Structure 1
Amino acid sequence: MLPSRTEEIQGAVRTWLSQIDRPPVDFGMNRTQTFATLRDWQRQLYDAGWLGIGWRAEYGGRPGTGLDQITVYEEIARERLPLPIGILGLDIVGPTILEHGTEEQRTRYIPPLLCGDEIWCQGFSEPEAGSDLASLRTKATYDESARTFIVNGQKVWTSWADHADQCALLVRTGGPDSRQRGISYLLVPMDTAGIEVRPLTQITGDQEFCEVFFTDVVVPAENLLGEVNDGWRTAMSTLAHERGGYLLRRRVELRAAMDDFVNETLPALGAPDDIIEAKVGQCYVLLDALDARAFDVARRLESDQLGHETAIDKLFLSKVEQAVFGGILDMLGDQRMLEMGTDGTEQGRWIHDYLYGRASSIYSGTAQVQRNIVANRVLGLPR
């Protein structure tokens, strides 16, 4: 049973979405067009009051709770509409600045982050520090006389870095072996001298990710978020909330995709046989189980008790996503797959989504890392 407030928000968002023009985004658009369209979409959402829900009013926020904001995202996904381009800033960077930033940092960064005037990327992963993020090597040396950090190193898998205005950057300020205890969190303008961005083409054909090189990049001391060598705690404090919110909205996107396949693609394959019907049933059983898990995530979000159980959420979501898109390709069969690409056609969509889904057990913490968290932190098993 949904809370009455959730139903109220759902109704209001659905009414609003039914009255607006859909943002013109499709697979055929180039990267620059897509970015500009999604930035305009974010501004439209913010102006209508659908972003910043639960954030403090003095920084541009709106009344409500974090669960209210997730409800808005769910309705956007249910209508097959894109999320705002600044979702990483909205989900991770903004809450981190609100929790750990100075008053000057909150006033400077939060309003443009909300409305889409400034888009953030996340400089966490490195070529040799993806799953083991605590081993990152990008170095920041503090110049006490100039009150600046000098940054050198490389980041990778950085979404939209070639269009982003700001970067939330984790750097090594401690010794080489200091791991979590020697990491700091910097807020870095992407137009700073010494930053080079190179887009990467993914297996899907998209160019969402980039690698970013920092060569003697000068960052003012006032751009330090939190304390020196305390960046790990600063970064991790909000990641659990991001993972919980991601499950809630992603499960809506997965069900919408399955519904589209059953209602639009499957009829063109002819009368389904017993094997196809069984596969459809298996996919919907998993989606129903994910919905059940989502109710528990919502309960934990509302009581601010997400904890290490988010590792279980991440593992289960990855399993369902890969099973749904893998099941769709099984039902299409080898011959249909040979006729497909990853372009914007209906058939190409399923290849694209299957390939994208393969990464779900890697991004935001690999399945292996999540299992270790479950074993050590949830079950209390010895290392």
Structure 2
Amino acid sequence: MELQDTPELAAFRAEARAWLDENAPAFSGRVKHRLHNESADSPEEYEAAERASVAAAGAWQARLRAGGWAAVSWPEAFGGRGGTPAQEAVFAEECERFDVSVGPLMVGLKMVGPTLMRHGTRAQCAEHLPPLLNGERVWCQLYSEPGAGSDLAGLRTRAVRDEATGDWIVTGQKVWTSSAPVADWAILLARTNVDVPKHQGITYFLLDMRTPGIEVRPLRQMNGSYHFNEVFLDEVRVPASNVVGEVDAGWKVVHTTLAAERAMIGGGGGEKARLLVELARSLGRLDDPLVRQHIAEVFTLDEVLRFLGLRMRAAIARGVPPGPEGSIMKLLVARRAHRAAEAALAIEGAHGLLLGADAPQEGAWQQQLLSAQGLRIGGGTDFIQLNTIAERILGLPRQRHPDKDVPFRTLTEQRNGDA
């Protein structure tokens, strides 16, 4: 039993631990998920490794489904266990004792699933939720564009209805898409009405990534990774049945997905201070007062995030969906990743200049330092999170948006005129 466990959670933890002790060792070490802080010599090498991690994660997810642990907090009506968010968190904590992961499937399980359960049709849930639970389908998200990142509502990818069939024809460009080469499906935002203000003319689609007209181009990052991609859509046909929610009302659906994404990012990363202690011990620097100070700072962030997670789970257990509090956790996770990597390189000293097999722990901390900036951008930049915290938690005046009520067509004409 853990300190924060109620008697009911303690019993659940014991049940989860017993099941994992029996089942997880056979899968431990098989899933090496390609994260954005792992380098590769070529896009093909990165994609091959990512596909291998997808296959291993799918096998573990299938075992979870067979054992009744695939979606602890999903309602039973949607194939889940019907448990509480607190139970889901306990199960995740117990999984950390083993080297098992469903990382490549997280966009689907943590973002697509909750969104469809809240906004999707029965047919959409029946088609997409079972493959998610079985580990058979990988999802990506087609949101950001070269000119629409922090201002996501400024997106220009267009979807035009084919009046003969009712389908939508989508043309545009997306960027910073994780897992695009290995994804089976995507959640896609496209503009369906240019004669209303920008937030009111966006529709939320489900897109089969095997549809003709889709081109994926890997992006080389400064740390040698190919985690992100550009995606070009050239007259891609999307059935009308793949609209989630109402046409032109996708912004409401977007909020559900973004809140789930921030909660997912904010809840990830584990305990960084413990890893730093292990690093310092291996290098004989655990008694160095400056090293201990670095570790203490990271430990503080670990604990703050842990308690924020408990608070969020308690709110969810009372029926309160993830809200702006997720922005605090997402902000701190990005900050902790940067501070932890800086601390690790300070502990490594001159060895911190090395990379790969020559560096301590095969250069894992060097890669994290190079990739930490991505966490401060993905899922909403630090500045977006700060604005959300200021407006929706502290109650400060909202930032003025002079283009909020201007039809998007007018905004486009003004920009083209300025150009």
TM-score by length of 2: 0.83
| Match status 1:312 vs 2:294 | no
For the residues of structure 2 that align with 1:138 and 1:341, how far apart are their CA atoms? Answer: 40
Amino acid at match of 2:190: V
**Aligned residues of 2:216 and 2:230 also touching (Cα < 8 A):** yes
Match of 1:375 among 386, 390, 403: 390
1:271-308 Cα shifts (integer Å, max 9, x gaps): 63221122222222222222222222222222233432
Amino acid at match of 1:4: P
What residue is the counterpart of 1:331 in the other structure? 347
**SS of corresponding position for 1:85:** helix
Percent identity over the alignment?
A: 34
Give the deviation of 1:347 after TM superposition. 3.7
Which consecutive residues of structure 1, in runs of 5 or more, have no partner in the other structure? none
Amino acid at match of 1:15: A
What residue is the counterpart of 1:366 in the other structure? 381
What residue is the counterpart of 1:98 in the other structure? 117
| Match status 1:205 vs 2:208 | no
Q: Mark the CA change 1:180 to 1:75 in structure 2 (over 3 Å): closer, same or farther.
A: farther
**Aligned residues of 1:187 and 1:224 also touching (Cα < 8 A):** yes
Q: Mark the CA change 1:337 to 1:220 in structure 2 (over 3 Å): closer, same or farther.
A: same
**SS of corresponding position for 1:86:** helix
TM-score by length of 1: 0.90
**Aligned residues of 1:119 and 1:166 also touching (Cα < 8 A):** yes
Match of 1:231 among 224, 247, 250: 250
For the residues of structure 2 that align with 1:344 and 1:11, how far apart are their CA atoms? Answer: 39
**Aligned residues of 1:113 and 1:120 also touching (Cα < 8 A):** no
For the residues of structure 2 that align with 1:265 and 1:194, how far apart are their CA atoms? Answer: 51
Match of 1:38 among 57, 64, 75: 57
Q: Mark the CA change 1:164 to 1:56 in structure 2 (over 3 Å): closer, same or farther.
A: same
For the residues of structure 1 that align with 2:359 and 2:186, how far apart are their CA atoms? Answer: 30
Give the deviation of 1:205 after TM superposition. 2.7
For the residues of structure 1 that align with 2:385 and 2:193, how far apart are their CA atoms? Answer: 26
Give the deviation of 1:240 after TM superposition. 2.2
Q: Mark the CA change 1:152 to 1:322 in structure 2 (over 3 Å): closer, same or farther.
A: same
Amino acid at match of 2:21: S
For the residues of structure 1 that align with 2:204 and 2:178, how far apart are their CA atoms? Answer: 18
CA RMSD between the two structures: 2.4
**SS of corresponding position for 1:373:** helix
Amino acid at match of 2:336: V
What residue is the counterpart of 1:258 in the other structure? 273
Give the deviation of 1:375 after TM superposition. 2.0
What residue is the counterpart of 2:18 in the other structure? 15
Alignment of 1:1-383 (within 5 A): 1-19=4-22, 20-21=25-26, 22-26=28-32, 30-175=49-194, 178-250=197-269, 253=270, 255=271, 257-264=272-279, 266-270=281-285, 272-305=287-320, 306-333=322-349, 335-341=350-356, 346-382=361-397, 383=399
Give the deviation of 1:58 after TM superposition. 4.4
1:112-168 Cα shifts (integer Å, max 9, x gaps): 121121211111111111111111111100112211000001111111111111111
**Aligned residues of 2:276 and 2:295 also touching (Cα < 8 A):** no
Count of aligned positions: 378
